[in-house]
Amino acid sequence: MIHCRHSLVAVTLAMGLLVPVAWSQKPPAPAPQPPSKPTQPVAPTTPLNSQPTQPGLQDDLVLFLRGRIATNDGTSLPNDAMVERVCNNSVRQQVYATAGGTFTMQMGSRFDSFLDASGSSPPLRESVTRKTSTEGIPRRDLANCELRATAAGFRSKTISLVDLTPSLGTIDVGAIMVQRASKIKSMTLSATPYKAPTNARRAYERGLEAERNGKLAEAHKYFQQALEIYPKYASAWFQIGVLFEKENQPVSARAAYTQATTIDAKFLPPYLSLASMAYNAGSWTEVLQFTGHIIDLDLLNHGGVSGYILDLDESNPAEAYFYNAVANYMLNKVEEAEKSALKAEQLDLRTHFPQLHLLLGEILARKGNYAVAISELKAYLELAPHAKNGDQVREELAKFEKLNHSTPTTEKPVQN
């Protein structure tokens, strides 16, 4: 059933509420560094349990774990590199590393960064509230814990926390070493950025640092220097495009992104940027063109892949599937839109795209599956309770609930 009213997705898109959180941006920064003169840790007042503790483990509090992620070949890490604290084989906490690989993990804060930091209950999703406001956890609670890094295309060594001694409430774990995973024949994405000469890569890294510090003119200079040394440096062309976008020069940005794709068709970030520009302009055919290229090279799209995959691209495919889904929907290709939206929902583990539920709700309503459409709109309102289109979504939800009373329920489509 195709509704005669204006599509909720189309109206929401016009309101600018279907613009996703950009994956090209750095994830949220980790917890701040501990103060230079932290409060002297004190021993917990709660009596110890009867469980035996290992010799040498004191009852002082650990406030922070800090260190860095380092690659064995000196190459840069992807944007989504993070550190996990694993205790008794269960992930208890996760924090993102900075662009330079450093990280700080705060122990026992009221709002841990991802999972409950010290409780024995099953892991919970984000923003878990602790029962007390006490910061820090007893050192003995780290006896069976270790740190490891997670980054696309890398394998990580682990660091045991049992023998590390805190200093003023902080444990410096040093470097967590990661190495590139083994390649799968015929399934490797672009390696062109790593063929650049050392001096070109050094200039490129300086450009990234200048950009992070907001020195765009200086960043331009270093990226141009890298291209003078190595004209086929696709990553440098891409970063120049990013600078042009920040400077509100879309024509120059598009030209730089296009140059990067001409040099290396397997380097995916510029394709995603071009898809984003086409998405914002409502050029749906172009969106399908650029996202289609990304999806064709998405290694998760290929069956029979086992072992480690060397993925040198920093973009998450969830955004490409999101753009693809909206473009297909706007071109009235409902089946294709549903397939891409379900794939994006599957990949969007951190719910960067609550709009996916809105899109799926519209698609399912058009197919007469009001029961599941209702659940999708409710999921959207739970994830975005203060959305500007909240009242409109609630009105739509009420319509679907009325229609559902007179329509046989159907099962939610199986995700491919």
Q: What is the pLDDT of residue 353?
A: 80
Tokens of 241: 């495009």
Q: Establish if 161 belongs to a structural domain.
A: yes
Q: Establish if 212 belongs to a structural domain.
A: no
Tokens of 82: 């993070």
Secondary structure class of 15 (helix, strand, coil): coil
pTM for the model stands at: 0.57
Secondary structure class of 367 (helix, strand, coil): coil
Q: Establish if 168 belongs to a structural domain.
A: yes
Pairing of strands 158-160, 145-150: antiparallel
Q: Establish if 244 belongs to a structural domain.
A: no
Q: Establish if 166 belongs to a structural domain.
A: yes
Q: How many domains does the chain have?
A: 1
Cα–Cα distance, 232 to 194 (Å, whole number): 11
Q: Establish if 38 belongs to a structural domain.
A: no
Q: Establish if 243 belongs to a structural domain.
A: no
Residue-range definition of the domain harbouring residue 147: 61-180
Instruction: Kindly give the confidence (pLDDT) of every residue in the chain, 416 residues in length, as a single tens digit, with 9 standing for 90 and above.
Output: 334 344 666 656 544 445 554 333 333 444 444 444 444 444 333 333 334 444 444 457 888 898 988 887 666 677 668 898 988 888 888 888 887 788 888 887 543 444 333 333 333 333 333 333 346 788 888 888 999 998 777 888 899 888 788 888 888 888 898 887 644 344 445 555 557 888 998 999 999 999 989 999 999 999 999 999 999 999 999 999 999 999 999 999 999 999 999 998 888 889 999 999 999 999 999 999 999 998 887 655 544 443 333 333 445 578 899 999 999 999 999 999 999 998 888 777 666 788 888 999 999 998 888 899 899 899 889 888 888 888 888 999 899 988 888 755 544 454 54
The CATH number assigned to the domain holding 167 equals: 2.60.40.10
Cα–Cα distance, 83 to 217 (Å, whole number): 33
Q: What is the pLDDT of residue 156?
A: 87
Q: Establish if 264 belongs to a structural domain.
A: no
